[in-house]
Amino acid sequence: MSGSEQRHEIEKAGYEPIMSYNQTDFLKDRVALEIQFGKYAFVAHDLFVKHLSFYVSGIIDMGIEILPMKELEREMSSGVPYYERDLLNVLRQGRGVPAVPLILIGIIP
């Protein structure tokens, strides 16, 4: 549903709608790109909320997540994600989770 349709349905059900939105770092040719050098918890948010939301909404055909590799993560502050860990996390979930085509890219210094 569009934002206005969602608002109407929420109000019709007797609830107060809360304004929220998802945005991505870059979006071009139906590909969303997220660069994540922040905290490791944000990678899961990118993969399971942002990319998935845009995919299910028909806005993108795939998502790309760029992460530091372990070699670079060692030089950064604590709590930073790294490619090898998040690749393993995705592989552990099994085929189809998250349900959006993804490319994970790891970078080194």
pLDDT tens sequence across 26-56: 999 999 999 998 888 888 889 888 999 899 9
Strands 31-35 and 62-68: parallel
Q: Is the pLDDT of residue 21 over 90?
A: no
Cα–Cα distance, 104 to 9 (Å, whole number): 37
Secondary structure element (H or E) that encloses residue 84, with its range: helix 83-93
Domains of the chain plus CATH, in order, are 22-107 (3.40.91.20)
- So what's the pLDDT on residue 47? 87
Label residue 3 by pLDDT band (50, 70, 90): confident
Whole-prediction pTM = 0.79
Label residue 79 by pLDDT band (50, 70, 90): confident
Residues 6+ apart with CB under 8 A from 61: 30, 31, 55, 101
Q: Is the pLDDT of residue 68 over 90?
A: yes
Cα–Cα distance, 73 to 84 (Å, whole number): 10
